[in-house]
Structures are given as structure tokens and as C-alpha cells.
Structure 1
Amino acid sequence: MARYLVRIVLLGAQSVGKAFAKTVRQEIEAHREAARMHAAQSDPCTRTKSDAALNGMTLAEAQSILNVKDVLDRREVENRFQHLFQANETKTGGSFYIQSKVFRAKERIDEEIKKLEAQTKSQVQSESK
């Protein structure tokens, strides 16, 4: 009887120890990732606007949220944004979370349009020289 009790205690201690070790490893990895993100945000030399981890949303996610295929079609983007933003108005029972996601998606698409316009403007200037 005592032998079985000792085995149960040992097996329980082993499983708790393994779970604790796994949790510690995950916490260390999360800490390293947070430190890497903090370093990337605070160092303007390594920071890039296309880094989705820093900006929070990729262009594909933004297109999916607003349900647009062509980001250059400003009218469609604006129409989808207005519809979704008003449909999720908190005063009418909508979700503030979804409304903020819609806003961030529009913001991300606007950022991409500005980047594309800047690229085409610089190409036109370089060709005219």
C-alpha cells in the first residue's frame, strides 16, 4: 500500500514539475519576444513601416476586414468603411471592438495608398531628370 502511495506521489510530482518547466520556458520566450519588440519600436533605424508586428495589421487583413479586393479603388474602400463603421455604432447596439477594427483597417489601407503614391511620384521625378 505504501509503495503505491509513494509511486502516486512521485508521478504527480513529475507531472507538476514538467508543467512548471514548460510554463517557465514559455514565459522566458514571451519575455524575449517582448524585449525584441520593444527594441524594434524604440530604435528608429530598424523600424520599418511594412512590419506587421509593429503596425498591428497586414494589408491582407485590412482588405479582408473591409472586404475589398483593390486597395486603389478609393470609392469602394470609403463606401465599405462608412457602411461597416455605421453598422457597428455603439449607440445602435454595435460593437466598439469591431468598429475599431474597421477604423484600423481603413487606416492601414490609407497608409498603403500614401506609400504607393510616394513611390510613383519618386519614379516620375527620377524619369523626368
Structure 2
Amino acid sequence: AARILAQVLVMGSGMLVRAVAQAYRQAIVNASKTGTAQEAMQNTVRKASRALTEQEARQILGVPENAAWEEIVKKYDVLFERNAKQGSFYLQSKVHRAKEQLESVYQNKGP
């Protein structure tokens, strides 16, 4: 009886694996036909490549256009630490990206 049960389990699991593989292949074909896969990939790339503008970075940190680099670093430190202790990781990330953006702007301007 145990041998028959084992054979049934092996055969059943083999059929299940084949059915899942076939369904996956069909899903890929359907996604290729409708363009769903390409659209999802393009949306992901578009979102990931969108960088902050200088204006957005200044708004996030709350600094004017004529702010000195030291003022920007002070604002960054305050906002970053505040969000590290009791804020959100998302806001902390935005503050960090804003500083990176302004850092690249100030480096391109030179001394």
C-alpha cells in the first residue's frame, strides 16, 4: 500500500510540475503579445531614472538658490537626523537624494 501511495504521489507531482511550467510559458507568450512585459519594464526604468531637479532638491531641503554649501549641509544634517529618529525612511531618502543633487550642482560650479 505504501508503494502504491508513493507512486501516486510521484506521478501527481510530476503532472503538477509540467502543468505549472506550461502555464508559465503560456503567460510569457501572452505578455509578449499584449506588450504588458515591455510596458512594465519601461515604467520601471522610467521611474528609476528620474532624478531630482535642482529646484526640487532645494525645496526638499528648504534652502534658497543663493544658499552657501555650509547652510545646505546644516539643513541636511538636521532633516536627516530628525527623520532617522522619528521620521520615515522615505523622507530620509528624499533628503539624502536632495543633498546629492545639490552636491553635484555645487561641484560643477567649481570653487
Report matched runs for 1:1-129 at 5 Å: 30=39, 34=42, 54=49, 56-70=51-65, 73-89=68-84, 92-117=85-110
Q: Percent identity?
A: 30
Question: CA 1:88 to 1:98, structure 2 compared with 1: closer, same or farther past 3 Å?
Answer: same
TM-score (norm 2): 0.55
Distance 2:103 2:75 in 1: 13
Tell me if structure 2 keeps the 8 A contact 1:66–1:80: yes
Identify which of structures 1 and 2 has the higher relative contact order when contacts are C-alpha pairs closer than 8 Å and 6+ apart: 2
User: If you compute each CA radius of gyration, which structure gives the higher value, 1 or 2?
Assistant: 2
Q: Letter of the aligned partner of 1:103 in structure 2?
A: H
Q: Which runs of 4 or more aligned residues in structure 1 lie more than 3 Å from their structure 2 counterparts after TM superposition?
A: 27-31
CA RMSD between the two structures: 3.0
Structure 1, unaligned stretches of length 5 or more? 1-23, 39-52, 122-129
* Equivalenced residues, count: 76
Distance 1:81 1:71 in 2: 16
More helix by share: 2
Q: Letter of the aligned partner of 2:57 in structure 1?
A: A
TM-score (norm 1): 0.48
SS of the aligned residue for 2:56 comes to: helix
Counterpart of 1:8?
Answer: none
